[in-house]
């Protein structure tokens, strides 16, 4: 490291970096984008492989054949569900008991902070029913979970039917080493949250539930089954869980291996796999699949019932049956065999799934991008912030210069920005009653519109901040503020990317260019427009449009706006109901940080 | 000569099989083999070399290690109290060993260590994994079951191995301890391929001193070998509630063990006897009070020749059983790898009687219990234990031991919670499969449960073996021990494939980062001195004139 110790060479390096700072930053930014887009290119990715020995080499034979029984059970369940107008608890308890399971129920209730207009619920009251198949000669220390939701309407009846048929078949087998819990949960994620909190005797979200009577030790893995229609043509694997957590990649490998073995059409993000990676269409397809995963992961919500298991260190995935590819109608017995195979292999596990990756992106089911490959894309973006921190500021002043700007000059905008963030976090939910009284809106609209209003009001802050400051903002003042803000942003994005890469990357892509180049000397109107267009809220809006485009359901601007509003309400609900961290992160940290840059722009 | 005849007449062997159809539709079969050895165990240092029925391997162990009482059990599976009721002799999953030593033993820990190693050899089990880190000395929960009232728990050692897997290799040495081996008598039924094709399997050896007769004029060693197994009719019977000895054990009985003084098969017919079809029918009925319930049994005496030939098929119907009066379960609450909470829930299902229970918890040191967070609640009210014995763990030396006497209100659920923090182990202390998790042995709930019917307190030889194991001291209650399930707890585990990466990374960091920093910090930078001292400048002036190289 003569480079650092030799003053001359150090100076040369510094000069080079200072002189070429802007071009280097631009190159880094472009390189990051190119690197990221390159991740979907097949030759740059790795083929998935089973890492866990206990699941890889052992053979299992699938013999489940009671597809007809599953269908008739589904019909029976449907009839009882209609009669009960919800979960047919008694029938389900009897049906499970008749299959030799130990059956327990759990009732729960939850009042949402404000009505959920997507799912049309406010006061939620329900019952979970679960049956435990006790493994012979096992000491109740380990368990596997299979869940199916009891959802209103026609969907998911087959999932419950298949669950019961599987329970009956599994009960007659002798080879189980882990207890198997068959769970039918009501009100999808809310029921699942109640059950998991009851099982682990925690209460993180203020749910009211009755304590569980039966347990089966530590849960090793969980599979959630959703069959949205009566005709199933393909199975979709859903991995994205709460806060962007993903299950171990081996679980995806297991699913893929059995789909291959049984000749089942399988998709991820609803996209089939293509073999023509060398054509433009093939690449676009893979890129779209990966982008979908990134967007889903970034939004931090649980995309299936499995997503809540991940917090408890339980590897879980949802398998969703889809009716989309007309010519490949699938037998229920085949899905049963697929589940049987997966559960049997999970039953063989000697340790928790830990051999394979926990951080990955999937451009297709057979290819994956590991953390080592995708992190450089983020690293290149983070470097820009560090480059901006190091040079333009330090050249002109020293931070510890006593004659420099007072602490107050910097602290005031920082504190005010964060107070705005706190307001954005707290007020929408707490002011909803007042808003409903004074404006002709529903509670949900009140919450969302309050959030939007506070967000917009934050933009007026710089002028107020200036008034609070004693005297004019100095040249050094904004530099210190920018230095602080850049470091703050770098730390924030870095931490976010380590936990949830997608969220960190998406935020970095939009926030880095404008924040890195921000000075008060730029043309005000133009840069203000650019800043607003690249603010966190607009990032969400773009994500909504891109997501709709990628799932091949493009929306008009008006619809997009409505979706944007519902995404905000969902984000707030996810935080309140399941403890998703994206909303507090954006409101309490990212938005105030962005406001600090906004402040710099209007530094007079 | 007299001596031999005397001992011959007084050594005894009894065998017994109880079959009880369970409420859940399963079949519970419980074997008990009892060998009495008439020898004066209280005389120390007396060399005993004559063995008739008692296995020599165990006899030698008893005298060598001055054992007063020895109880060892190997269990595969968990006894489902809520479905199956109380077992005749309870045992926790895995292996359990508890031993009372004579109070003359000076080095108890040394004897214990050697004894576990010897037993490990005798039973082909991993008992040698018992060491001081999982041994405790319960102060109240494990009293001697035999003669003598030793109370000094310094001579008691208790250990469990919740992870022990029980299989054929443990069954074979166990069968060899029987006088008839597996050649005659009830033990011909003990075929491992069937015994291990079941829902629950437990085998045990209990050795204790007992009275030879009612007046207790002479004493004897009693060896009880028990084997409990629960067959799952659901998986094997194709839905038919029908069983036979052959279906269960793939053998039938042909003769009693010729050495046995009694050899009996009891079939529990308390539940709707008229709906049973028992073939062959037996005229003998017996009533016994066992575990607070009066039950009726059909008795088949194998010592009678006319019994043989048919004992085959038996149809039966089911009846709802009373909920077990005492029931306990345990689980770990919380998430994440830092802290957690152990919940032990004890149910008293008696409608109007409260009774006290002794709860014993032995927790390995790597779960650091926060004993100040210990709470006992019944019916959402604080329940203050009347006796608490807590011995804190020492890292890598001793487990936690917590014993409490708790009064259970009638018809209640009592919850005992205590928080813990997971310790970071040293990297050599992890098991080869650290991601599987670490086991915490079952907690033990011992209680005198109020009986629904009067218990039989007079101790006679006629009593069936299954009802005479724990001596009953009063009519109104009976002794029950309930084991909870063991726990599987995940500890923070490093990625063991990581060392390579770590080595690479640290080497790079040290070489590049630390190296250059060290360089920067220790190098002394000196500013070049442009002006030389006056004397040198003068000297240089002269040198230049002379044409000699200049001074630096």
Residue A352: its chain B contacts at CB < 8 A? Answer: 435-437, 490
- Chain B contact for A177 (CB, 8 A cutoff): no
Mean pLDDT for B405-421 is: 94
- pLDDT tier at B175, thresholds 50, 70, 90: very high
Q: Two tokens at A419?
A: 């107070």
State the residue for tokens 């006056």. Answer: B534
Q: Inspect the interface and report whether the beta carbons of A217 and B488 lie closer than 8 Å.
A: yes
Say yes or no: B378 and B302 in one domain. no
Say yes or no: B212 and B311 in one domain. yes
- Chain A contact for B516 (CB, 8 A cutoff): yes
Q: Two tokens at A232?
A: 């199933």
- Residue B38 or residue A161, greater confidence: A161
Confidence check: pLDDT of B22 > 50: yes
Strand boundaries in A262-359, DSSP class E: 266-268, 315-322
- Residue B449 belongs to a domain: yes
Q: Write down the pLDDT at residue A229.
A: 80
Residue A142: its chain B contacts at CB < 8 A? Answer: 488
What residues form DSSP beta bridges with B72?
A: B97, B205
Contact A288, A550 (CB under 8 A): yes
- Residue B409 or residue B458, greater confidence: B409
Say yes or no: B317 and B344 in one domain. no
Say yes or no: B125 and B166 in one domain. yes
Q: Inspect the interface and report whether the beta carbons of B512 and A137 lie closer than 8 Å.
A: no
CA quadruple A517, A519, A523, A526: dihedral positive or negative?
A: positive
Q: Inspect the interface and report whether the beta carbons of B485 and A100 lie closer than 8 Å.
A: no
- Which residue among B336, B490, B516 places its CB closest to the CB of A1? B516
Q: What is the mean pLDDT of chain B?
A: 83
- Which residue among A5, A138, A217 places its CB closest to the CB of B516? A5
Q: Inspect the interface and report whether the beta carbons of B523 and A5 lie closer than 8 Å.
A: yes
Give all domains of chain A, ordered by start, each with its CATH number: 7-39+373-602 (no CATH), 58-365 (3.40.630.10)
Q: Inspect the interface and report whether the beta carbons of A1 and B83 lie closer than 8 Å.
A: no
Looking at CA atoms only, how far is residue A272 from chain B in angstroms? 34
- Chain A contact for B364 (CB, 8 A cutoff): no
- Which residue among A136, A174, A201 places its CB closest to the CB of B77? A136
The helix/strand count (H/E) of chain B reads as 11, 26
Provide the 3-class DSSP secondary structure of residue A352.
coil
Tally C-beta pairs within 8 A across A and B: 100
Looking at CA atoms only, how far is residue A376 from chain B in angstroms? 17
Q: Write down the pLDDT at residue B544.
A: 86
Mean pLDDT for A555-567 is: 91
Say yes or no: B167 and B227 in one domain. yes
Confidence check: pLDDT of A196 > 80: yes
- Residue B500 or residue A159, greater confidence: A159
Q: What backbone torsions phi and psi does residue A589 show, to the nearest 5 degrees? A: -125, -55
- Residue B502 belongs to a domain: no
Residue B487: its chain A contacts at CB < 8 A? Answer: 141, 217
- pLDDT tier at B275, thresholds 50, 70, 90: low
Q: Inspect the interface and report whether the beta carbons of A351 and B235 lie closer than 8 Å.
A: no
- Chain B contact for A205 (CB, 8 A cutoff): no
Query: Which chain A residues in 287-316 lie under 8 Å from chain B, judged by CB atoms?
Result: 311-313
Say yes or no: B257 and B358 in one domain. no
Contact B128, B116 (CB under 8 A): yes
- Residue B83 or residue B459, greater confidence: B83
Confidence check: pLDDT of A115 > 90: no
Q: Two tokens at A478?
A: 């904004």
- Residue B16 belongs to a domain: yes
- Chain A contact for B471 (CB, 8 A cutoff): no
- Residue B334 belongs to a domain: yes
- Which residue among A1, A5, A139 places its CB closest to the CB of B93? A139
- Residue B43 belongs to a domain: yes
Q: Which domain holds residue B411?
A: 326-457
- Residue B131 belongs to a domain: yes
- Chain A contact for B489 (CB, 8 A cutoff): yes
Say yes or no: B80 and B51 in one domain. yes
> Which residue of chain A has the CA closest to B200?
A137
Residue B94: its chain A contacts at CB < 8 A? Answer: 139
- Which residue among B76, B232, B488 places its CB closest to the CB of A141? B488
Looking at CA atoms only, how far is residue A205 from chain B in angstroms? 14
Pairwise CA distance, residues A127 & A129, whole Å: 6
Q: How far apart are the first and last CA of chain A?
A: 43
- Chain B contact for A218 (CB, 8 A cutoff): yes
Pairwise CA distance, residues B151 & B128, whole Å: 27
Q: Write down the pLDDT at residue A308.
A: 94
Q: Inspect the interface and report whether the beta carbons of B234 and A140 lie closer than 8 Å.
A: no
Q: Write down the pLDDT at residue B460.
A: 54
- pLDDT tier at A478, thresholds 50, 70, 90: confident
Q: What is the mean pLDDT of chain A?
A: 88
Query: Which chain B residues in 239-298 lie under 8 Å from chain A, judged by CB atoms?
Result: none
Q: Categorise residue A540: left if φ over 0, alpha if ψ from -120 to 50, beta otherwise.
A: alpha
Contact A526, A518 (CB under 8 A): no
- pLDDT tier at B103, thresholds 50, 70, 90: confident
Looking at CA atoms only, how far is residue A177 from chain B in angstroms? 10
Q: Inspect the interface and report whether the beta carbons of B335 and A312 lie closer than 8 Å.
A: yes
**pLDDT for A497-527, tens place per residue?**
999 999 999 999 999 998 888 888 888 888 8
Mean pLDDT for B269-289 is: 65
B190-204, B300-314, B325-339: segment of lowest average pLDDT: B300-314
Pairwise CA distance, residues A116 & A123, whole Å: 10
Cα–Cα nearest to B263, from B227, B225, B301, B228: B301
Confidence check: pLDDT of B358 > 90: yes
Mean pLDDT for B517-521 is: 81
Q: Inspect the interface and report whether the beta carbons of B520 and A5 lie closer than 8 Å.
A: yes
- Chain A contact for B329 (CB, 8 A cutoff): yes
Q: What is the CATH number of the domain that holds B367?
A: 2.60.40.1170
Q: Inspect the interface and report whether the beta carbons of B200 and A136 lie closer than 8 Å.
A: yes
- Which residue among A202, A351, A354 places its CB closest to the CB of B335? A202
- Chain A contact for B370 (CB, 8 A cutoff): no
- Residue B448 or residue A468, greater confidence: B448
C-alpha B144, offset from chain centre: 17
Q: Which residues of A133-143 are buried (b: 16+ CB within 10 A; e: fewer)?
A: bbbbbbbbbbb
Residue finishing a domain among B401, B431, B457: B457
Cα–Cα nearest to B372, from B411, B421, B335, B439: B421
Residue A4: its chain B contacts at CB < 8 A? Answer: 516, 519-520
Percentage of chain A exceeding pLDDT 90: 56
Q: Write down the pLDDT at residue A469.
A: 61
**For residue B290, with 0-12 CB atoms within 10 Å meaning exposed, 13-18 middle and 19 or more buried, which class applies?**
buried
Best mutation target among B80, B340, B436 (most A Cβ atoms within 10 Å) is B436
Q: Categorise residue A476: left if φ over 0, alpha if ψ from -120 to 50, beta otherwise.
A: alpha
**pLDDT for A82-111, tens place per residue?**
998 888 999 999 999 988 899 999 999 999
Say yes or no: B201 and B334 in one domain. no
Pairwise CA distance, residues B316 & B410, whole Å: 34
- Residue B475 belongs to a domain: no
SS (H, E, C) B245-303: HHHHHCCCCCCCCCCCCEEEEEEECCCCHHHCEECCCCCCEEEEEECCEEEEEEEEECC
Best mutation target among B163, B197, B232 (most A Cβ atoms within 10 Å) is B232
Cβ-Cβ contacts under 8 Å for A352 (sequence gap 6 or more): A220, A221, A313, A315, B435, B436, B437, B490
Confidence check: pLDDT of A178 > 60: yes
- Chain B contact for A102 (CB, 8 A cutoff): yes
- Chain A contact for B237 (CB, 8 A cutoff): no
Contact B396, B425 (CB under 8 A): no
Residue finishing a domain among B429, B457, B485: B457
Say yes or no: B52 and B119 in one domain. yes
Write down the pTM of the prediction: 0.90
- pLDDT tier at A533, thresholds 50, 70, 90: very high
Q: Write down the pLDDT at residue A572.
A: 93
> Which residue of chain B has the CA closest to A1?
B516
The neighbour count for residue A87, using CB atoms within 10 Å, is 23
How many structural domains comprise chain B?
2
Whole-angstrom CA distances from B377 to A394, B406, B417 are 63, 10, 9
Looking at CA atoms only, how far is residue A102 from chain B in angstroms? 9
**pLDDT for A303-351, tens place per residue?**
999 999 999 999 999 999 988 777 778 889 999 999 999 999 999 999 9
Residue B320: its chain A contacts at CB < 8 A? Answer: none
Mean pLDDT for A132-149 is: 93
- Which residue among A102, A172, A201 places its CB closest to the CB of B343? A201
Cβ-Cβ contacts under 8 Å for A217 (sequence gap 6 or more): A139, A140, A141, A142, A143, A179, B331, B485, B487, B488
Q: Inspect the interface and report whether the beta carbons of A137 and B234 lie closer than 8 Å.
A: no
Q: Write down the pLDDT at residue A518.
A: 82
Pairwise CA distance, residues A339 & A472, whole Å: 69
The neighbour count for residue A475, using CB atoms within 10 Å, is 13
> Which residue of chain B has the CA closest to A215?
B331
B7-11, B75-79, B141-145, B400-404: segment of lowest average pLDDT: B7-11
- Chain A contact for B78 (CB, 8 A cutoff): yes
A128-132, B52-56, B71-75: segment of lowest average pLDDT: B52-56
* A553: enclosing H helix or E strand: none
Pairwise CA distance, residues A258 & A263, whole Å: 8
Pairwise CA distance, residues A273 & A364, whole Å: 6
**pLDDT for B200-238, tens place per residue?**
999 999 999 888 777 777 788 899 999 999 988 776 655
Please give the DSSP secondary-structure letter assigned to residue B398.
B
- Residue B534 belongs to a domain: no
Q: Inspect the interface and report whether the beta carbons of A313 and B436 lie closer than 8 Å.
A: no
Looking at CA atoms only, how far is residue B75 from chain A in angstroms? 8
Cα–Cα nearest to A457, from A598, A571, A561, A562: A598
Say yes or no: B330 and B319 in one domain. no
- Which residue among A1, A7, A217 places its CB closest to the CB of B512? A1
Residue finishing a domain among B274, B306, B323: B323
DSSP A456-475: HHHTTHHHHHHHHSSSPPPH
Looking at CA atoms only, how far is residue A43 from chain B in angstroms? 25
Contact B175, B190 (CB under 8 A): yes
Cβ-Cβ contacts under 8 Å for B122 (sequence gap 6 or more): B57, B58, B61, B173
Q: Write down the pLDDT at residue A3.
A: 58
Contact B187, B178 (CB under 8 A): yes
Residue A215: its chain B contacts at CB < 8 A? Answer: 329, 331
Say yes or no: B308 and B378 in one domain. no
Pairwise CA distance, residues B395 & B39, whole Å: 43
- pLDDT tier at B271, thresholds 50, 70, 90: low
Cβ-Cβ contacts under 8 Å for A55 (sequence gap 6 or more): A250, A254, A345, A346, A348, A349
The neighbour count for residue A433, using CB atoms within 10 Å, is 11
Q: Write down the pLDDT at residue B503.
A: 84
- pLDDT tier at B319, thresholds 50, 70, 90: very low
Say yes or no: B316 and B444 in one domain. no
A440-444, B125-129, B357-361: segment of lowest average pLDDT: A440-444
**pLDDT for B114-124, tens place per residue?**
999 999 999 99
Provide the 3-class DSSP secondary structure of residue B38.
coil
Pairwise CA distance, residues A98 & A100, whole Å: 5
Percentage of chain B exceeding pLDDT 70: 85
Q: Two tokens at B56?
A: 């020599």
């Amino acid at each position: 490291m003569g480079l650092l110790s030799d003053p001359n060479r150090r100076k040369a390096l510094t000069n080079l970096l200072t002189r070429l700072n802007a071009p280097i930053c631009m190159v880094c930014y472009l390189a990051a984008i190119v690197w990221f887009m390159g991740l979907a290119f097949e030759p740059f990715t790795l083929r998935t492989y089973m890492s866990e020995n206990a699941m890889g080499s052992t053979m299992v034979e699938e013999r489940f054949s009671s597809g007809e029984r599953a269908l008739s059970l589904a019909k029976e369940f449907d009839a009882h569900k209609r009669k009960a107008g919800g979960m047919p608890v008694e029938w389900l308890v009897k049906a499970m008991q008749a299959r030799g399971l130990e059956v327990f129920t759990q009732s729960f209730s939850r009042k949402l902070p404000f009505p959920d207009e997507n799912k049309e619920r406010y006061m939620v009251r329900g019952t979970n029913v679960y049956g435990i198949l006790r493994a012979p000669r096992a000491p109740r220390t380990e368990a596997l979970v299979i869940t199916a939701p009891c959802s209103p309407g026609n969907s998911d009846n087959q999932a419950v039917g298949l669950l019961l048929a599987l329970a009956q078949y599994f009960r007659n087998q002798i080879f189980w080493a882990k207890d198997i819990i068959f769970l039918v949960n009501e009100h999808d994620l809310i029921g699942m949250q109640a059950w998991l909190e009851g099982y682990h005797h925690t209460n993180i979200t203020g749910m009211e539930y009755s304590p569980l009577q039966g347990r089966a030790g530590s849960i090793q893995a969980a599979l959630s089954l959703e069959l949205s229609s009566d005709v199933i043509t393909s199975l979709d694997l859903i991995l994205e869980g709460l806060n962007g957590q993903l299950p171990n990649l081996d679980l995806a490998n297991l699913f893929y291996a059995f789909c291959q073995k049984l000749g089942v059409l399988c998709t991820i993000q609803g996209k089939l796999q293509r073999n023509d990676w060398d054509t433009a269409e093939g690449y676009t397809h893979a890129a779209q699949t990966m982008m979908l995963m990134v967007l889903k992961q970034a939004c931090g919500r649980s995309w299936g019932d499995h997503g809540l298991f991940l917090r408890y260190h339980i590897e879980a995935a949802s398998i969703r049956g889809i009716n989309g590819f007309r010519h490949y109608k699938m037998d229920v017995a085949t899905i049963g065999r697929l589940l049987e195979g997966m559960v049997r292999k999970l039953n063989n596990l000697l340790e928790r799934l830990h051999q394979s990756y926990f951080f990955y992106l999937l451009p297709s089911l057979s290819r994956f991008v590991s953390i080592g490959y995708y992190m450089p894309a983020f690293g290149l973006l983070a470097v820009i912030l560090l480059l901006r921190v190091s040079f333009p500021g330090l050249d002109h002043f020293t931070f510890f210069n006593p004659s420099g700007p007072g602490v107050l000059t910097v602290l005031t905008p920082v504190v005010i920005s964060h107070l705005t963030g706190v307001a954005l976090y707290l007020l929408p939910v707490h002011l909803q009653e007042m808003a409903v009284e004074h404006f002709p809106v529903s509670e949900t609209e009140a919450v969302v519109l309050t959030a939007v209003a506070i967000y917009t009001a934050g933009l007026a802050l710089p002028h107020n901040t200036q008034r609070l400051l004693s005297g004019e903002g100095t040249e050094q003042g904004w530099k210190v503020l920018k230095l602080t803000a850049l470091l703050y942003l770098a730390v924030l994005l870095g931490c976010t990317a380590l936990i949830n890469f997608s969220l960190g990357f998406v935020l970095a892509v939009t926030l880095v260019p404008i924040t890195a180049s921000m000075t008060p000397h730029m043309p005000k109107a133009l840069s203000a427009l650019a800043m607003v267009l690249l603010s966190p809220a607009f990032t969400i809006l773009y994500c909504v449009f891109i997501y709709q485009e990628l799932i091949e359901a493009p929306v008009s601007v008006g619809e997009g706006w409505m979706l944007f509003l519902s995404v905000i309400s969902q984000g707030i609900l996810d935080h309140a109901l399941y403890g998703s961290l994206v909303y507090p992160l954006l409101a309490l940290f990212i938005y105030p940080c962005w406001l600090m840059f906004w402040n710099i722009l209007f530094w007079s | 000569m007299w001596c031999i005849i005397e001992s011959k007449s007084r050594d005894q062997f009894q065998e017994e099989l109880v079959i009880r159809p369970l409420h859940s539709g399963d079949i519970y079969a419980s074997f008990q083999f009892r060998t009495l050895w008439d020898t004066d165990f209280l005389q120390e240092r007396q060399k005993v070399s004559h063995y008739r029925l008692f296995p020599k391997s165990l006899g030698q162990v008893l005298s060598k290690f001055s054992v007063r009482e020895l109880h060892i059990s190997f269990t595969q599976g968990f006894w489902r109290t809520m479905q199956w009721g109380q077992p005749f002799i309870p045992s926790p999953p895995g292996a359990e060993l508890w031993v009372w030593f004579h109070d003359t033993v000076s080095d108890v820990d040394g004897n214990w260590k050697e004894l576990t190693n010897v037993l490990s050899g005798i039973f082909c089990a991993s008992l040698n994994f018992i060491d001081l880190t999982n041994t405790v000395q319960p102060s109240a929960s494990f009293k001697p079951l035999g003669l003598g009232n030793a109370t000094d728990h310094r001579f008691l050692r208790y250990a469990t191995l919740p992870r022990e897997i029980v299989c054929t290799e443990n069954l074979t040495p166990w069968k060899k301890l029987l006088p008839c081996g597996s050649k005659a008598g009830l033990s011909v039924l003990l075929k491992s391929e069937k015994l291990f094709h079941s829902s629950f399997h437990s085998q045990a050896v209990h050795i204790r001193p007992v009275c030879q007769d009612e007046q207790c004029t002479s004493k004897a060693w009693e060896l009880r070998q028990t084997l409990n197994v629960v067959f799952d009719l659901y998986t094997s019977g194709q839905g038919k509630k029908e069983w036979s000895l052959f279906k269960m054990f793939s053998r039938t009985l042909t003769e009693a063990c010729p050495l046995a003084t009694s050899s009996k098969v009891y079939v529990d017919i308390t539940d709707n006897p008229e709906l049973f079809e028992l073939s062959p029918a037996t005229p003998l009925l017996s009533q016994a009070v066992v575990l607070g319930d009066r039950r009726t049994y059909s008795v088949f005496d194998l010592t009678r020749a006319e019994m043989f030939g048919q004992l085959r098929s038996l149809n039966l119907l089911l009846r709802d059983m009373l909920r077990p009066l005492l029931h306990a379960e345990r689980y770990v609450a919380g998430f994440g790898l830092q802290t957690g909470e152990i919940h032990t829930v004890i149910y008293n299902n008696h409608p109007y009687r409260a009774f006290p229970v002794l709860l014993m918890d032995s927790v390995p040191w790597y779960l650091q219990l926060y004993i100040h967070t210990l709470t006992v609640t019944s019916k959402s009210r604080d329940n203050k234990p009347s006796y608490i014995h807590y011995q804190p763990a020492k890292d890598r030396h001793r487990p936690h031991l917590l014993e409490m006497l708790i009064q259970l209100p009638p018809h209640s659920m009592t919850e005992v919670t205590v928080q813990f923090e997971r310790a970071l182990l040293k990297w050599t202390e992890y098991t080869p499969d650290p991601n599987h998790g670490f086991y915490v042995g079952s907690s033990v709930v011992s209680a005198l449960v109020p009986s629904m019917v009067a218990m039989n307190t007079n101790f006679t030889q006629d009593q069936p073996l299954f009802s005479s194991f724990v001596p009953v001291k009063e009519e109104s209650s009976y002794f029950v021990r309930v084991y909870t399930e063991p726990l599987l707890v995940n500890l923070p585990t490093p990625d063991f494939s990581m060392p390579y990466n770590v080595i690479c990374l640290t080497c790079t960091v040290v070489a590049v980062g630390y190296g250059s920093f060290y360089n920067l910090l220790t190098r002394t930078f000196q500013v070049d001195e442009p002006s030389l001292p006056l004397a040198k400048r003068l000297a240089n002036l002269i040198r230049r004139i002379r044409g000699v190289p200049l001074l630096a």
